[in-house]
C-alpha cells in the first residue's frame, strides 16, 4: 500500500465505474455500470458488499446497475434530490438526498460533499421507453475517508474555473477525471482541470469504451508533462495499491 493511498484501495471497473475500499473496511461504489464493455468479467456478480453507492447523474452509463445493486445490498446512496426520488421509487430504502455544496456523513464515517459538474443528466428508464425523465443536475463528489484521505470524483464534466475552489476548500489528493472527449473533457481539458485541482495524482476514466471516446491516458500524461502531477493509468479490475 502506497503512502499516497494510506490504506485506501482504488479499483477501476471500466468506463466511469470505480470501487474504493476504505481504511475502515467499507466499500464505496461510484457510477456502477458494471456491465460496460471494459468491465472485468463477472464484475457485477462478484460484488459481495456495498456500503455506499454514489451516482453522479442519470445517464445509463453512470446509473448503470444502481437499482439492482441498491436492492441487493441496501447501501446508503447520497445523491441529488431528484435522483433520490427516482431511486426511492425503485425500492432503494437508504437514499440520502443532498445538493451541490452540501455535505453529509454516510456509511459510518465517510464524509461526502457534492460538487458542481457541467453536463446533462436525463434518465432513460426501460419502463418508460422513449421518455427522458428529469434526473436533477449532474454532480461530482469529494469523498473524505476515515483517515482524512480525500478523493475527488468529477463525474461527466468539462473543465470549469471553479475547480480551483474545490482545491482551496477540499484539497483532494487524487482526482478521478473523464478524458474520452466528445461527451466529456478531452485530455487537454482534463490536464487543465488537474492543474486547477492541485491533486498529486489523476486517475483517468471514461475513455476507450466506445470508438468515439478517443482520449487516452498517454495524451493526458503528455499534457501534464512537467507539472509534477502523476497520471495513474489503471487496468480494469486490478486494485491500485
For 31-79, the pLDDT digits (tens) are 999 999 999 999 999 999 999 999 999 999 999 999 999 999 999 999 9
Q: Is the pLDDT of residue 1 over 60?
A: no
Q: Which pTM value belongs to this model? A: 0.96
Give the Cα separation of 152 and 212 in Å (integer).
25
What CATH class does 9-108+122-231 carry? alpha beta
Q: Which helix (H) or strand (E) holds 22?
A: none
Give the Cα separation of 26 and 198 in Å (integer).
26
Give the Cα separation of 35 and 31 in Å (integer).
12
Give the Cα separation of 191 and 195 in Å (integer).
6
Nearest residue to 145 (alpha-carbon basis) of 48, 241, 47, 28: 28
Domain boundaries, the chain: 9-108+122-231
Confidence at residue 2, expressed as pLDDT on a 0 to 100 scale: 42
The residue behind cell 480494469 is: 236
Cell numbers found for residue 166: 474545490
Q: Is the pLDDT of residue 187 over 70?
A: yes
The rounded mean pLDDT for the chain is: 96
pLDDT digits (tens, 9 = 90+) for 135-184: 999 999 999 999 999 999 999 999 999 999 999 999 999 999 999 999 99
Q: Output Rg (C-alpha) for the chain, integer angstroms.
A: 16
Amino acid at each position: 500500500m502506497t503512502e499516497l493511498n494510506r490504506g485506501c484501495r482504488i479499483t477501476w471497473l471500466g468506463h466511469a465505474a470505480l470501487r474504493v475500499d476504505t481504511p475502515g473496511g467499507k466499500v464505496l461504489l461510484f457510477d456502477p455500470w458494471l456491465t460496460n464493455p471494459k468491465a472485468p468479467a463477472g464484475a457485477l456478480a462478484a460484488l459481495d458488499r456495498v456500503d455506499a453507492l454514489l451516482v453522479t447523474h442519470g445517464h445509463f452509463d453512470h446509473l448503470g446497475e444502481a437499482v439492482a445493486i441498491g436492492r441487493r445490498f441496501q447501501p446508503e446512496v447520497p445523491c441529488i434530490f431528484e435522483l433520490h426520488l427516482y431511486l426511492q421509487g425503485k425500492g432503494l430504502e437508504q437514499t440520502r438526498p443532498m445538493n451541490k455544496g452540501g455535505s453529509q456523513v454516510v456509511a459510518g464515517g465517510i464524509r461526502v460533499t457534492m460538487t458542481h459538474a457541467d453536463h446533462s443528466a436525463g434518465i432513460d428508464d426501460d419502463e418508460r421507453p422513449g421518455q427522458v425523465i428529469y434526473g436533477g443536475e449532474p454532480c461530482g463528489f469529494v469523498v473524505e475517508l476515515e483517515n482524512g484521505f480525500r478523493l475527488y470524483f468529477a463525474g461527466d464534466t468539462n473543465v470549469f474555473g471553479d475547480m480551483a475552489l474545490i482545491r482551496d476548500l477540499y484539497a483532494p489528493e487524487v482526482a478521478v477525471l473523464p478524458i474520452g472527449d466528445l461527451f466529456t473533457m478531452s485530455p487537454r481539458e482534463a490536464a487543465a482541470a488537474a492543474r486547477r485541482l492541485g491533486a498529486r495524482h489523476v486517475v483517468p476514466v471514461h475513455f476507450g469504451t466506445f470508438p468515439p471516446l478517443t482520449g487516452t491516458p498517454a495524451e493526458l500524461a503528455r499534457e501534464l508533462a512537467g507539472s509534477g502531477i502523476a497520471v495513474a493509468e489503471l487496468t480494469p479490475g486490478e486494485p491500485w495499491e
